Amino acid sequence: MRKKTLQPAGKMRKRQKRLDQIAGLCKIGLFGLAIAVFAVLGLLIPIRPTTSEMEKRQLTAFPAFQLESFLNGEFFKNVGLWYADTFPMRDQFLAANNALEELYGLQQRQIITSRKAEQNQSQEKLPEQAAEQSAADGSITEGQPEVIGDVYITEGRAFELFYFSEEYTDRYCEVINRAQERLGDKVHIYCLPAPVNSGIILSEDMQERVDSSNQKQAIEYLASKLDSRVTTIDVYDTLRSHNSEYIYFNTDHHWTALGAYYAYQEFANAKGVPANSLDVFTSNSYEGFLGTFYSSSQSEELKNNSDTVVTYTPLGTNNLMLTDQNGISVTKEIVSSADDLSAGSKYMCFIGGDQPYAHIMNPQIQDGSSIAVFKESYANCFIPFLVDHYADIYIIDYRYYQNDFVSLIQENHIQDVLFLNNLSAINEVLRLEEMEALVP
Amino acid sequence: MVFSSLVFLYVFLALNLLIYCFFARTMKQKNVTMLVFSLVFYAWGGPKYLLLLLFMTAVCWLFALFIESRRSVGARKWLLALTCLIMIGLLVWFKYSGLFLSTLQGLTGFPETIPNIVLPIGISFYTFQLLSYVVDVYRGTVHAQRKYWLLLLYASLFHQCIAGPIVRYADIERELTRRRVSLDEISGGVTRFAVGLAKKAVLANTCAQLVDQFLPSGADALRQTPAADLWLGMMFFALQIYLDFSAYSDMAIGMGKMIGFHYKENFNYPYTAVSVTDFWRRWHISLSSFFRDYVYIPLGGNREGSGRTVFNLFIVWFLTGLWHGASWNFVLWGLYFFLLLLLERSVLSRALRAAPRAVSHIYLLLAVLFGWVIFYFESLPEIGVVLAGMFGLNGNGFGTFKTLVKLENHLFFIVVAVLAAAGVLKKCYEAVRRRCAQRTGLSTVLSIADAVSPTLLLILSTLALVGDSYNPFLYFRF
């Protein structure tokens, strides 16, 4: 009896042992094969990427050899960094990893802290020129990414959180006051601080819960600090009253052209001219826009809620002359088609993207009126509405423009100046330093 | 180079295994392969420090031979003392002179400038390995190694040279010249390595990100942080440091097994301990046993009266703390455990034994967690702010909406990380294996899973590693 029960057990153990052996062999073989495949992949240097479209940055370059950096280990460290950073199929691997990370928890709402953005910021940014060139072949087209702070994601929409700084707001106002002082009474300065989407779309209660500062109060404080000659255009209440409309993107930190239009109406009011109605413009729309919030969070929720870029082409002219960072001047369309732009860069269809300097001449207006716009990218979809009110529009992106802003206005006898900056930029020290450099 | 880097996995290790398995035929060729790779590995972190490693090994090699050839106890003792003086002197010079001089400067204003001495990678680990070797030769428990290059192989072996475990010469003496591998062992080594890699690349690195999200830097920012964030931040740090460090040991043990080296276990699920005494039997075992065998017992251990025992324990824990880094908070951390151990020895141990397991377990987790506060923050003011904040004394409330959202986003991850750190995942796997062994159909399925899983883990880890080019092992500073 006993033998009978033992025998099958013994057989089973034998079988198990053989199975284990085969499994062991397969395991070692598979593992070795996987290492070999990745090793060979890593050797395919020609297919290593040099830029990452997903992260919108230049990847680490192979380090130059120096005796000192060799001896202290710096050289090898950078070789390792280069090897990992430019690993073939990097973006595909990143996408797969992001998909896996979605499984870490419940992702219906998220708060993305600026860690990722900070990391990217310290990395070398894609030069504008490279972006311009590759725009044609449809690869990297974003250009200079802006630094995104903390982002709150809920129900497929991302919101940029706003942190008020009294010190920075004061410094911003001093920039404008200084300009007014130097330009004197003849030049009329308008200041249009653009709210970021959290302040307009989220309820006040929600803004408080995510620690986002009150933007209405921020604008009111700002207005109180400006020279009495400066006209502040407070668009907060107007935008808020339209907040059920598509005035901010879901996946990008900019307002839409519609949001910019409501701000433009307020501007026209302040200037005392009638605003054009929206129906007079030719409108186009481009689907499938995945903006900066998507690229910094890689959130599936956002990916499934991509944006549509709607454009309104100005009446008088659709041409502008821009000067890029290399000082080369070209003629571009004020509002161009976004069909050929990649999913991440459709916002570039407005005024040729972020360029140091651009000039629009409207041949339909002969009264010699002129305005200078001191801006970052929020103004890009606003400017098309301005075109039909001025003979000349001078556009200065303070992040890239190198000369004195006030001299530009004086030399061209410009009458109006518009500071159109978003609240995040106003409260961000890097941006402020750039502004201060232009208005010393 | 860290184990969890793509260049290590797919250039260094790939080449190493290729040459070792397919080109090196004799044991000597295999050893030369390992030595060359180890030296390259070490030089990767700064070729000039390789000279120090070569020199320190040479000192120990020579003095061990001298010690063995002398009959007189006095001469042997002097030679040993001289070796220790040189080795510890070099360790102190490279690792602690900055700390000692800046402390002196703080107290007396002298010296005016503090030389900037860079810590050579792994010096804390290989100094201890070499010291244990010389002491063992002195004690007669091992023979002195006649061949310099074999001793160098022991000290520099890339598996354990720069982040442990602290392998004793006696443990691998035979295997330096005679090692055999079986299919079972290679297969076990592969699994162990892959598990370690995933533990580091997926679990520990994500925990590190969470620590950063919950614990801002600087005392001012910490003062504004709500209590729940501090607790969670410290909890993730506790997970991170264990997963990180034990992952390194897993990978070392796994790579050793692949080629026939057997390193002792360095961790035994320390967070399942029920007392601090128990914890230190399970945490960084190779370090605590080093201090036990080469400091505590030579000092007399617990055999020379209770006063002397307390003194001996004090020395051991002072040194254990200091070993972890050139900063006084580590000493404080060591002494914190010294006090807890004294407490357990005198009063607590009976109470802990009598208490339900859950109670003593919670006691241990809290004790260790507060320990990590002292360990993580290097300045006393920060430690004070965080401890106060954990008890809600900074007036920031319990938690915020952000705390909740961050938790939601990582809910499943946290469960997996905690189960992994508590050893539950491993136990489940073993239980399933036992059950399945009785049923033929299931056991086939299990064998397939077993064969495929290391490769899957490797792929998962690779995906995770592509995304972060920056992931230094925590224990590199030691």
Q: Is A396 helix (H, G, I), strand (E, B) or coil?
A: strand
Interface membership of B466 toward A (CB under 8 Å) = yes
Which residues, 6+ apart, have CB-to-CB distance to B36 below 8 Å?
A: none
Residue B365's domain comprises 185-467
pTM of the entire structure?
0.81
Find tokens 């002792």 and name the residue.
B264
Q: Which residues of A touch B48 (CB under 8 A)?
A: 71-72
> Which stretch of DSSP H or E encloses residue A16?
helix A2-43
Interface membership of A99 toward B (CB under 8 Å) = no
The answer to whether B117 touches B97, Cβ cutoff 8 Å, is yes
The closest CB to that of A84, out of B43, B438, B465, belongs to B465
Mutation target vs B (from A27, A87, A205, A209; most B CBs, 10 A cutoff): A27
In a domain, B405, yes or no: yes
What confidence tier does A8 reach under pLDDT thresholds 50, 70, 90?
Answer: low
Whether residue B282 is found in the same domain as residue B419: yes
DSSP letters for A417-439:
EEEEEEHHHHT-HHHHHHHHHH-
Find tokens 């490769």 and name the residue.
B455
Whether residue B146 is found in the same domain as residue B260: no
Interface membership of A361 toward B (CB under 8 Å) = no
pLDDT at A213 exceeding the cut of 60 = yes
Q: What is the pLDDT of residues B353-404, one digit of tens each?
A: 888 889 999 999 999 999 999 999 988 899 999 999 999 888 888 888 888 8
Interface membership of B187 toward A (CB under 8 Å) = yes
Among the candidates B128, B150, B179, a domain finishes at B179
pLDDT confidence of residue B440: 67
Phi, psi of B49 (to 5 degrees): -75, -15
Rounded to a whole number of angstroms, the distance from the CA of B150 to the nearest CA of chain A is: 25
In a domain, B477, yes or no: no
In a domain, B474, yes or no: no
Among the candidates B179, B201, B223, a domain finishes at B179
- In whole angstroms, what is the distance from residue B322 CA to residue B337 CA? 13
Which pair of structure tokens corresponds to residue A174?
Answer: 């001093």
Nearest partner of B301 among B290, B286, B287, B311, judged by Cα: B311
Interface membership of A210 toward B (CB under 8 Å) = yes
- In whole angstroms, what is the distance from residue A122 CA to residue B302 CA? 55
Phi, psi of A395 (to 5 degrees): -115, 120
Three state DSSP letters for A106-130: CCCEEEECCHHHHHHHHCCCCCHHH
> Which stretch of DSSP H or E encloses residue A136?
helix A128-137
Interstrand relation of A416-422 and A370-375 (parallel, antiparallel or unpaired):
parallel
pLDDT confidence of residue B470: 37
Nearest partner of B377 among B329, B331, B335, B338, judged by Cα: B329
Which pair of structure tokens corresponds to residue A311?
Answer: 């454009």
Q: Which residues of A touch B413 (CB under 8 A)?
A: 104-105
In a domain, B478, yes or no: no
Name the residue of chain A whose CA is nearest to B119's CA. Answer: A72
ipTM: 0.88
- In whole angstroms, what is the distance from residue B223 CA to residue B43 CA? 43
Q: Is A91 helix (H, G, I), strand (E, B) or coil?
A: helix
- Scan residues 26-55 of A and list those with Cβ closer than 8 Å to B: 26-28, 30-36, 38-39, 41-42
Interface membership of A211 toward B (CB under 8 Å) = yes
Q: Which residues of chain B have pLDDT under 50?
A: 470-478
Q: Do B408 and A113 touch (CB under 8 A)?
A: no
Whether residue B167 is found in the same domain as residue B213: no
Whether residue B136 is found in the same domain as residue B13: yes
- In whole angstroms, what is the distance from residue A171 CA to residue A177 CA? 10
Q: Do B7 and A79 touch (CB under 8 A)?
A: yes
Which pair of structure tokens corresponds to residue B248?
Answer: 């390194």
In a domain, B297, yes or no: yes
Whether residue B141 is found in the same domain as residue B263: no
Q: Do B409 and A106 touch (CB under 8 A)?
A: yes
DSSP letters for A195-232:
PPHHHHHS-HHHHHHTTPPPHHHHHHHHHHHS-TTSEE
Q: Which residues of B touch A21 (CB under 8 A)?
A: 183
> Which stretch of DSSP H or E encloses residue A174?
helix A166-183
Q: Do A42 and B6 touch (CB under 8 A)?
A: yes
First-residue to last-residue Cα distance in chain B: 15
Q: Is B300 helix (H, G, I), strand (E, B) or coil?
A: coil
Among the candidates B129, B148, B179, a domain finishes at B179
- In whole angstroms, what is the distance from residue A179 CA to residue B349 CA? 75
Which residues, 6+ apart, have CB-to-CB distance to A351 below 8 Å?
A: A320, A322, A332, A334, A335, A358, A380, A383, A384, A395
Nearest partner of B462 among A90, A215, A143, A190, judged by Cα: A90
Interface membership of B51 toward A (CB under 8 Å) = no
Q: Is A34 helix (H, G, I), strand (E, B) or coil?
A: helix
Nearest partner of A26 among B454, B308, B113, judged by Cα: B454
- Which amino acid appears at position A149 of this protein? G
Cα B237–Cα B242–Cα B245 angle in degrees, nearest 5: 115
Task: Tell me which DSSP letter residue B113 carries.
Answer: S
Across the A/B interface, how many CB contacts are shorter than 8 Å?
165
Interface membership of B463 toward A (CB under 8 Å) = yes
Which pair of structure tokens corresponds to residue A243?
Answer: 């907040």
Nearest partner of B433 among B448, B419, B414, B423, judged by Cα: B448
Q: Within 10 A of B194 (CB to CB), how many other CB atoms are there? A: 25
pLDDT higher at A55 or B42: B42
What confidence tier does A429 reach under pLDDT thresholds 50, 70, 90?
Answer: confident
User: Percentage of chain A with pLDDT > 90?
Assistant: 52
- In whole angstroms, what is the distance from residue A149 CA to residue A393 CA? 31
Whether residue B47 is preceded by a cis peptide bond, meaning omega within 30 degrees of 0, is no
| Rg for chain A, CA atoms, rounded | 27
In a domain, B397, yes or no: yes
Q: What is the mean pLDDT of chain B?
A: 89
- In whole angstroms, what is the distance from residue A208 CA to residue A227 CA? 31
The closest CB to that of B10, out of A39, A77, A107, belongs to A39
Whether residue B101 is found in the same domain as residue B207: no
- In whole angstroms, what is the distance from residue B41 CA to residue B156 CA? 9
pLDDT confidence of residue B118: 79
Q: Within 10 A of B49 (CB to CB), how many other CB atoms are there? A: 21
In chain B, the number of structural domains is 2
- In whole angstroms, what is the distance from residue A346 CA to residue A342 CA? 6
Which residues, 6+ apart, have CB-to-CB distance to A149 below 8 Å?
A: A114, A117, A160, A161, A162, A163, A424, A428
Q: Is B179 helix (H, G, I), strand (E, B) or coil?
A: coil
Which residues, 6+ apart, have CB-to-CB distance to B101 below 8 Å?
A: B111, B114, B115
Provide the b/e sequence for A268-288 (b: ≥16 CB within 10 Å).
beebeeebbeeeebeebebee
Q: Where are the domains of chain A?
A: 44-88, 154-438
The closest CB to that of B467, out of A73, A80, A94, belongs to A94
Cα A249–Cα A254–Cα A257 angle in degrees, nearest 5: 75
Name the residue of chain A whose CA is nearest to B4's CA. Answer: A84
Interface membership of B447 toward A (CB under 8 Å) = yes
pLDDT confidence of residue A148: 56
- In whole angstroms, what is the distance from residue B242 CA to residue B269 CA? 9
Q: What is the pLDDT of residues A80-135, one digit of tens each?
A: 888 888 888 888 888 888 888 888 888 878 877 654 333 333 333 333 333 333 33
Whether residue B320 is found in the same domain as residue B376: yes
What confidence tier does A51 reach under pLDDT thresholds 50, 70, 90?
Answer: confident
Rounded to a whole number of angstroms, the distance from the CA of A58 to the nearest CA of chain B is: 14
Interface membership of B22 toward A (CB under 8 Å) = no
Whether residue B146 is found in the same domain as residue B222: no
Q: What is the pLDDT of residues A355-402, one digit of tens each?
A: 899 999 999 999 999 999 999 999 999 999 999 999 999 999 998 998
Q: Among A30-39, A67-76, B10-19, name the one with the lowest average pLDDT.
A: A67-76
Interface membership of B469 toward A (CB under 8 Å) = yes
Which segments of A23-143 are extended strands (E)?
A: 51-52, 57-58, 109-112
Q: What is the pLDDT of residues B179-233, one digit of tens each?
A: 888 998 999 999 999 999 999 999 999 999 899 889 988 888 888 889 999 999 9
Q: Do A93 and B209 touch (CB under 8 A)?
A: no
Phi-psi region of A109 (alpha: psi -120 to 50; beta: other; left: phi over 0): beta
- Which amino acid appears at position A94 of this protein? L
Whether residue B106 is found in the same domain as residue B228: no
> Which stretch of DSSP H or E encloses residue A172?
helix A166-183
- The β-bridge partners of A374 are A396, A419
Whether residue B174 is found in the same domain as residue B189: no
Which pair of structure tokens corresponds to residue A211?
Answer: 């620690």
Q: Is A372 helix (H, G, I), strand (E, B) or coil?
A: strand
What confidence tier does A271 reach under pLDDT thresholds 50, 70, 90?
Answer: very high
pLDDT confidence of residue A189: 95
Whether residue B222 is found in the same domain as residue B158: no
Q: Is A327 helix (H, G, I), strand (E, B) or coil?
A: coil
Whether residue B165 is found in the same domain as residue B267: no
- Scan residues 130-159 of A and list those with Cβ closer than 8 Å to B: 152
First-residue to last-residue Cα distance in chain A: 102
Q: Do B463 and A85 touch (CB under 8 A)?
A: no
Q: Which residues of A touch B10 (CB under 8 A)?
A: 35, 38-39, 41-42
Which pair of structure tokens corresponds to residue A12?
Answer: 């089973």
Q: Do A35 and B9 touch (CB under 8 A)?
A: yes
Rounded to a whole number of angstroms, the distance from the CA of A125 to the nearest CA of chain B is: 17
Interface membership of B255 toward A (CB under 8 Å) = no
Phi, psi of A392 (to 5 degrees): -130, 135
Nearest partner of B458 among A358, A270, A39, judged by Cα: A39
Which pair of structure tokens corresponds to residue B427?
Answer: 């136990």
- In whole angstroms, what is the distance from residue B173 CA to residue B154 CA? 9
What confidence tier does A55 reach under pLDDT thresholds 50, 70, 90?
Answer: low
Tell me, yes or no, if B159 is annotated catalytic.
no
In a domain, B475, yes or no: no
